[in-house]
Amino acid sequence: MDGHTIDGTPLDEAVKRMRGKPNTKITLTLVREKTPKPITVTLTREIIHIDVVKSALYDRIGYLRIAQFNETTEKELLKGYNTLKQQAGGKLGGLVLDLRNDPGGLLDQAVEVSSSFIRSGEIVSTRARHPKDSQRWDAHGTDITDGLPMVVLINGGSASASEIVSGALQDHHRAVLLGTRSFGKGSVQSIIPIPGNGAVRLTTARYYTPSGRSIQALGITPDIVVKETREDPGFSLREADLEHILKNQGGNQTKAQPRTDLPAIAKIIPDQPPANWPEFEYNKPGTDFQLQEGLRVVRSMAGLPAPDPTASLPPLKPAAKTDCAAHN
């Protein structure tokens, strides 16, 4: 970045260094697997608008994408879901929750989002060096969908709060996870003030899913593995690839137990697109192979017929907007 390596730099620190005053430039050099030469791009920093939650209705299947977990995420999720119910005339058949490339954010919002679909039980816990410092967060007793079939989409860019939500929904067998393994950011940082108006960010605990799995370094493995493209190597950098990472330990298991409640269609879902699948375009949901397979699974769970393959799909619509400073 601007001639300086950020290899091994924590994700939040790298993002902090990339951010800056609007209209200033930053040069990034990217190294990608299967690309012989580094790719150099120059970006202009701007104030950008982030749609925290986007929604779309595909036949009778609702789709909600969460871009990040900030102060308004749970509120905008509810607003987006209510909009989908109205659009479907109160007859939603199922829901796809898209957490792909969501870097996470606030823990309390991860708990609130999880609690929107899980009626009871643990959502997430932390275990610290001293047992008295460990904590647990439970669901609030409400499922806004009243038990509708759910699929959650994840990939290597799903981190932190995204992994808390997907891990909770998977452990409670509330949703089927589809995509590729998540990032593996399962550590808790605490800010400790020090004299002289300073502070130290110290890793103090690990996050654990309801079944006792540590998210750290391992991430969340989907129930149905589906790659985005045939050439997709997955994210080239995950938490486990960083230097001096906190090891995964302390949990009662390292991966989810094999599920026995997956729909029959799970056995025939391909793990990659066919050779003639069109190149992915963000504004064309029909080119999103993971989304299409997720919709296919939800329809099967809901007992709905397959849609007309020649029908065009509606674009995503923002459920809300919020401003934040970021690189563009």
Enumerate the active-site residues. 160, 171, 185
Give the bridge partners for 323, in sequence order. 49
Backbone angles phi, psi at 317, to 5 degrees: -125, 140
Mean pLDDT for the stretch of residues 276-288: 91
Q: What is the pTM of this model?
A: 0.79
Confidence at residue 38, expressed as pLDDT on a 0 to 100 scale: 84
Using the 8-state DSSP alphabet, how is residue 285 labeled?
G
Give the bridge partners for 67, in sequence order. none
C-beta neighbour count of 187 within 10 angstroms: 21
Query: Could you give the percent of the chain with pLDDT greater than 90?
Result: 59
Query: Could you give the percent of the chain with pLDDT greater than 70?
Result: 85
Instruction: DSSP for 241-284, please give it.
Output: GSTTPPP--SSSBSSPPPPS---GGGGG--SS--TTPPPPBTTB
Contact 186, 215 (CB under 8 A): yes
Q: Could you report the per-residue pLDDT of 117-171, keeping only the tens digit for each? A: 999 999 999 987 788 888 999 999 899 999 999 999 999 999 999 999 999 999 9
Give the pLDDT band (50/70/90) at residue 48: confident
Give the pLDDT band (50/70/90) at residue 217: confident
Residue 16, token pair as written in the block: 């902090």
Domains and CATH numbers, the chain: 11-47 (no CATH), 49-326 (3.90.226.10)
Residue 205, token pair as written in the block: 């605990």
Mean pLDDT for the stretch of residues 199-203: 83
